[in-house]
Chains A and B, each alone.
Chain A
Amino acid sequence: MSEKPAGLDAEPVISVRDLETHFFTDEGIVRAVDGVNFDVHPGTTMGIVGESGCGKSITAKSILQIVEAPGRIVNGEINYRRGSGETVNLLNYESGSGNMRAIRGGDISMIFQEPMTSFSGLHTFGNQIDEALRLHTNLAKQERFDLAVDWLARVGIPNPVQRMHEYPFRFSGGQLQRAMIAMAMCTNPRVLIADEPTTALDVTTQAQILDLLQRMQEENDMAILFITHDLGVISEIADEVTVMYLGKVVESGPVFSFFDEPKHPYSRALQTSIPSMFTSSRERLPSISGSIPHPQNRPSGCAFHPRCQSFMEGTCDVGEPELVSVNEEQEVSCFLYEER
């Protein structure tokens, strides 16, 4: 029943290790990303799931070194395996270096949470996609134009030639999202980072975009890092899942194990508290008590302990659990699974 994509056995194309990205604000240090580890394999989709503020976007931006001040990557490695097989730690490159610029938008592309922020209102869409192609390919002007038009057509934008001369604000939300995908894909990236690419869209448009991303992945064996807070979307497209809570990974593993046997109490609670199309009408679902703490008031010990059904006093509020393997596939950070 669960066919495992071949790519999962291949060497990871991205391997994030002990990543820490902090914000040095006047009120204190916000540990937005606080020791994150995961791998992304070629031709497969890693879903990063978590609620607002848990550090998903900052993790993604850290990979490309585009975290805005006062944020700074303070620790970790972003190991990227090139097509040649050579592996480099991207954090050894300066953010503004030629090496990093070649990677950003070339080998690794990103689709952003708010489409308008990745376009300039001052230039036509055609100028902006041309800029990306000029930076990352050796194509001549006419070839670049043709390729861009081709991509617009492939992502399902009607009248692509005309759209090249229009400004992004003329596009509808769904079209803008598609145009951004075209711009991210036209350089033929090996890794696509998609940060909530469908959250602002209707389910019908979401289905169109997910379909599009999957078809493109099949065509060029691209790895996708897909960020979302929607477990339904994870169930539709991810091969593997990493669950984050307050800047840390609490669970990771293949998508089937995650849905069949979620291990972390937070993963379990999320899955039972969210209605699905199989929830019957008027059914009460168990709810998670409390709410997500502000990152500056991070609870002691396991950050989930004040809301956890399995809370063990004297353990969970004292030490911090580590991410450990519980079987061949799943990793969890919870004292229920740590030998004490």
Chain B
Amino acid sequence: MAVETTENGNGPSTLLDVRGLVKYFPIKRGFFRRTVGTVKAVDDISFDIREGETLSLVGESGCGKSTTARSIIRAYEPTAGEILFKTEDGEAIDLAQLSLVEMRPIRRQLQMIFQDPFSSLNPRMNIYEIISEPLLVHGIGSSSEREDRVAELLRVVRLRPEYMRRYPHAFSGGQRQRIGIARALALNPRLILADEPVSGLDVSVQAQVINLMMDLQDSLGLTYLFVSHDLSVVKQISNRVVVMYVGRIAEIGTPQELFDSPKHPYTAALMSSVPKPHPSQRTKRYVLEGEVANPANPPTGCYFHPRCPFATDQCKVEVPPLVKSKDGRYVSCHRADEIELTAN
């Protein structure tokens, strides 16, 4: 069922190649915790991330963005699929097949940044302890070397090294998020998975963190998997975007492609729902009817068909595969080639 998303999945430019990733959660009920159903949180998705790019996952709440990121770092056990990661020696290894012990040295190269800068930092540890913890865990450096490294990392995220002995409560939301970034950078990772890294921040400090992330990417050659429900932020930071709907991929493209010429009806609806930045652009909204499907009990065929204005009988029964179109874009819609869509 998985669809090839790259001709040369192991080619030099691909850092991570996710193929046919599936993650189901059992629904347990009653005294004996019997399994009474399955949440199809991630349901056979394939995409690749190229070295040095920012690839974003977008879609409505519950569509499986966080589950995808967590499965990649093996915080969740994937139900099926391959997660091919190119190591520093250029060899592609399938993270899904590794034991947790084998995974440990690789985990250094993949780091996660979380949404909530308030709960993701241990309040009883000072900034030095928080940032140096990954170094300590991996037995890296003497204590004075670690201190130098923490000072360097603090400078990188534009915080004063003198603050090293302070505790998280003494910092604002934006500063805490930068501390989280410094910690994630401690082990020189190659791939950073950032799950809603600016959603918990006041709008006036979001730009500080986004600019920092882009600058670090340029100077350190980082690759980002960026998860967000804020499409404007996604448009700003991403090279390519994966649009998800109920655990599946609707479309993959550059932000400009998805916004200017969406090919999947869901992408068009999503983009059209984004508020226009100036009142003169107010138009008749394309309002998507109905509610997002339940991943524990998804519709047949194309998961989007109950809300799709273009649905045909075929859509009700056949799952549309993610296919590469002539212009190199990926869309999963039976009618992608025949319908005209705009996002505005």
Contacts and interface: CB of A to CB of B under 8 A. Distances in A.
A202 B238 CA distance: 20
A232 B274 contact: yes
Interface stretch (B149-157, B275-283, B315-323): B275-283
B276 A235 contact: yes
Interface string B97-137: 00000000000000000000000000000000000000000
A166 B260 CA distance: 43
Interface in A186-229: 202-208, 210-211, 229
A82 to B, nearest CB: 31
Interface string B176-219: 00000000000000000000000000111111101100100000
B291 interface: yes
Interface in A154-189: 172-175
Interface string A98-142: 000000000000000000000000000000000000000000000
A202 B280 contact: no
A271 B97 CA distance: 47
A120 to B, nearest CB: 24
A235 B211 contact: no
Contacts of A51: 202-204
Interface in A16-36: none
B273 A207 contact: yes
A105 to B, nearest CB: 28
B235 A235 contact: no
Contacts of A2: 279-280
A269 interface: yes
Nearest to A207: B273
A232 B204 contact: no
A319 interface: no
A52 B204 CA distance: 10
B69 interface: no
B236 interface: yes
A42 B255 CA distance: 40
Interface in A265-279: 269-270, 273-279
Most buried by A among B204, B205, B229: B204
Interface string B233-258: 10111110000000000000011100
Given A274-B207, A287-B208, A281 B60 contact: no
A275 B232 contact: yes
A292 B286 CA distance: 36
Interface string A278-290: 1111111111110
A273 B204 CA distance: 7
A217 B270 CA distance: 25
A282 B231 contact: no
Interface string A224-240: 00000111110110100
B3 interface: no
A208 B254 contact: no
A292 B276 CA distance: 26
Contacts of A273: 203-204, 206-207
Contact of A288 (B205, B270, B275, B278): B205
B341 interface: no
Nearest to A236: B275
Contacts of B231: 203, 277
B205 A1 contact: no
Interface residues of B, number: 49
Contacts of B311: none
A168 B236 CA distance: 38
Q: Secondary structure of the A side of the interface?
A: loop
B175 A233 contact: no
A337 interface: no
B47 interface: no
Nearest to B259: A277
Contacts of A1: 280
B204 A259 contact: no
A291 interface: yes
A145 interface: no
Nearest to B240: A281
B202 A283 contact: no
Given A203-B231, A292-B202, A230 B275 contact: yes
Contacts of A311: none
Contact of A255 (B208, B273, B279, B286): B279
A207 B276 CA distance: 11
B236 A283 contact: yes
A2 B272 CA distance: 22
Contacts of B269: 204
A291 B172 CA distance: 7
Nearest to B200: A52
Contacts of A175: 291
A227 B270 CA distance: 23
Contacts of A210: 285
A256 interface: yes
A273 B210 CA distance: 10
Given A2-B279, A232-B274, A256-B279, A172 B235 contact: no
A203 B274 contact: yes
Contact of A211 (B61, B172, B287): B287
Contacts of A270: 203-204
Nearest to B174: A291
Given A202-B60, A202-B229, A281-B256, A292 B204 contact: yes
Given A204-B273, A280-B256, 19 more contacts: A172-B291, A174-B291, A203-B231, A204-B269, A205-B60, A208-B288, A211-B287, A232-B274, A274-B207, A274-B232, A277-B231, A277-B235, A277-B274, A280-B236, A281-B256, A282-B237, A287-B205, A287-B211, A288-B207
10 contacts: A1-B280, A204-B60, A207-B285, A230-B203, A236-B275, A273-B206, A279-B235, A280-B256, A287-B208, A292-B204
Interface of A: 1-2, 51-52, 172-175, 202-208, 210-211, 229-233, 235-236, 238, 255-256, 259, 269-270, 273-289, 291-292, 307
Closest 9 CB pairs of A and B: A232-B275, A276-B277, A287-B207, A291-B172, A207-B273, A275-B236, A273-B207, A203-B273, A202-B60
